[in-house]
């Protein structure tokens, strides 16, 4: 059973209903629902007069965002830490996992830089080996990754669930099971996957998931979360150290009782002070996605993606995105800049990435909008 698309557009994305743009760019920046804007505004208005904002209300915002993110991915309570971006979780893995000389970290080639530079810097400073596994035909080569895992010194496999430029989807179950069987930690950049796809960390064997909120979670910039598997909590060193990452730090009357004992849960990895007003917006957006239903959103996106691919194929525009896909459709026309200009002329918001056109519909996108976008491709 699908959600009420017309009501969603009317209530949360009125600019879409008014025809201001055909927004096919969620893979870059997700639009903020009206309720998220209200939540940010209401919190900021209280912040403007801090005496109106109680301690309990201030912290309830992050508690709610954390709880909603936990539910979103089917995680256990206490395994999610709020973060201001995806890089926070990837840096936590690169610098916090017990790695050193004699260890090897595997990443695929053609990764988004957020999953490359932290590992490069940490490898240089900590002495482990970073190995990039070549892509095949421009997309992730899972067979090559599995072969690379056979090396005895491999400790980590880190990759993007969905490729930012091609939309290729990695098989987390297959790769995660291989990692688990070999005692290899599996780190996942999920920012392009959660939303168009459904992740259940209770079923899928992942050890750390990093996800920013500004794209498919329809949340403000500076929001996101990191999931850490329970058995990894004690092995992962908080990086950097936050003064509220230790036990008893919620009690502001005993701040000088210094005790470097970490919290029992993933909040040991949170950095304070967080942008509370933005996490108020994130909580509102996650509530919206929960109301729509994760499976329903995923099915809606799948239908729009298939319409786009079918239309592009009929128009003779080469499609880069492979059969296994999420919310990204990548096209490689002969004249990228010319096609981009035509899409702009038809108010189709898109991205140009690595010599391709990237389109990304989401829960607010109608079939009629896809038809209009396809018409622009066919001109």
As a whole number of angstroms, the distance between CA 331 and CA 343 comes to 13
Q: Is the dihedral of CA 78, 81, 86, 91 positive or negative?
A: negative
Question: Please, are residues 192 and 163 in contact by the beta-carbon 8 Å criterion?
Answer: yes
Q: Residue 323 has what pLDDT?
A: 87
Exposure of 342 by Cβ count < 10 A (0-12 exposed, 13-18 middle, 19+ buried)? middle
Beta-bridge partner residues of 23: 349
Task: List, run by run, the mean pLDDT of 10-residue segments along the chain (379 residues).
Answer: 92 97 98 98 96 93 98 98 98 98 98 98 98 94 98 98 96 98 98 98 98 98 98 95 95 94 97 95 98 98 97 96 93 96 97 96 98 93
Q: Residue 158 has what pLDDT?
A: 98
Question: Please, are residues 116 and 164 in contact by the beta-carbon 8 Å criterion?
Answer: no
Q: What is the dihedral of CA 287, 293, 294, 300, to 10 degrees?
A: -120
For residue 342, what are the contacts with CB-CB under 8 A and spacing of at least 6? 376, 377, 379
Q: Is the dihedral of CA 15, 18, 20, 24 positive or negative?
A: positive
As a whole number of angstroms, the distance between CA 32 and CA 39 comes to 11
Q: Residue 1 has what pLDDT?
A: 58
CA-based radius of gyration for the chain: 21
Instruction: Indicate the DSSP class of residue 349.
Output: E
Three-class DSSP category at 95: helix
Domain with CATH 3.90.1150.10 in the chain: 5-31+293-378
Backbone angles phi, psi at 101, to 5 degrees: -55, 135
Render the burial of 99-134: b for 16+ CB within 10 Å, e for the rest. beeebbbbbbebbbebbbebbeebbeebebbbebbe
As a whole number of angstroms, the distance between CA 369 and CA 354 comes to 25
Q: Residue 379 has what pLDDT?
A: 75
In the chain, beta strands by DSSP E: 22-23, 80-82, 104-108, 129-133, 154-160, 185-189, 208-212, 224-228, 329-331, 348-349, 351-353, 356-359
Q: Residue 324 has what pLDDT?
A: 86
CATH number of 44-290: 3.40.640.10
Question: Please, are residues 201 and 229 in contact by the beta-carbon 8 Å criterion?
Answer: yes
CATH number of 5-31+293-378: 3.90.1150.10
- Listing DSSP states for 273-330 in one string gives S--HHHHHHHHHHHHHHHHH-HHHHHHHHHHHHHHHHHHHHHTTPPB-S-SSBSS-EE
Q: Residue 47 has what pLDDT?
A: 95
Domain with CATH 3.40.640.10 in the chain: 44-290
As a whole number of angstroms, the distance between CA 279 and CA 154 comes to 37
Q: Which residue has the tokens 């209280």?
A: 46
Query: 0.75 cut: is pTM over it?
Result: yes
Question: Please, are residues 82 and 279 in contact by the beta-carbon 8 Å criterion?
Answer: yes
Backbone angles phi, psi at 17, to 5 degrees: -60, -35
Backbone angles phi, psi at 40, to 5 degrees: -65, -45
């Amino acid at each position: 059973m699908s959600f009420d698309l017309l009501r969603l557009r009317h209530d949360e994305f009125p600019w879409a209903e008014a025809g201001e743009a055909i927004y096919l760019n969620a893979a870059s920046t997700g639009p903020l629902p009206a309720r998220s804007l209200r939540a940010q505004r209401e919190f900021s208005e209280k912040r403007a007069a801090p005496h109106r904002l109680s301690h309990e209300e201030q912290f309830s915002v992050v508690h709610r965002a954390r709880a909603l993110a936990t539910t979103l991915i089917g995680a256990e309570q206490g395994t999610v830490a709020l973060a201001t971006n995806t890089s926070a979780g990837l840096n936590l893995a690169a610098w916090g996992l017990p790695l050193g000389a004699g260890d090897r970290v595997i990443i695929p080639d053609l990764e988004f830089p957020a999953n490359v530079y932290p590992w490069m810097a940490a490898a240089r400073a900590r002495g482990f080996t970073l190995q990039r596994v070549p892509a095949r035909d421009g997309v992730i080569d899972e067979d090559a990754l599995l072969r690379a895992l056979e090396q005895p010194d491999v400790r980590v496999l880190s990759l993007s669930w969905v490729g930012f430029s091609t939309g290729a989807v990695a098989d987390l179950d297959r790769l995660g099971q291989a990692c688990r069987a070999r005692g290899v930690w599996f780190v996942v950049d999920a920012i392009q996957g959660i939303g168009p796809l459904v992740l259940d960390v209770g079923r899928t064997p992942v050890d750390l998931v990093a996800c920013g909120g500004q794209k498919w979670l329809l949340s403000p910039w500076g929001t996101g979360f990191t999931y850490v598997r329970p058995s990894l909590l004690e092995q992962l060193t908080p990086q950097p150290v936050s003064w509220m990452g230790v036990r008893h730090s919620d009690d502001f009357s005993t701040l000088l009782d210094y005790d470097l004992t970490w919290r029992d849960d993933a909040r040991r990895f949170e950095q304070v002070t967080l942008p509370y007003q933005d996490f108020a917006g994130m909580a509102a957006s996650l509530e919206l996605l929960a109301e729509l239903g994760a499976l329903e959103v995923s099915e809606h996106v799948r239908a729009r993606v298939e319409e786009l691919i079918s239309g592009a194929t009929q128009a003779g525009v080469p499609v880069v995105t492979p059969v296994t896909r999420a919310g990204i459709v990548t096209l490689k026309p002969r004249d990228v800049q010319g096609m981009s200009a035509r899409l702009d002329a038809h108010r189709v918001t898109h991205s140009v990435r690595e010599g391709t056109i990237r389109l990304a519909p989401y829960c607010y996108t109608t079939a009629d909008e896809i038809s209009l976008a396809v018409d622009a491709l066919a001109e």
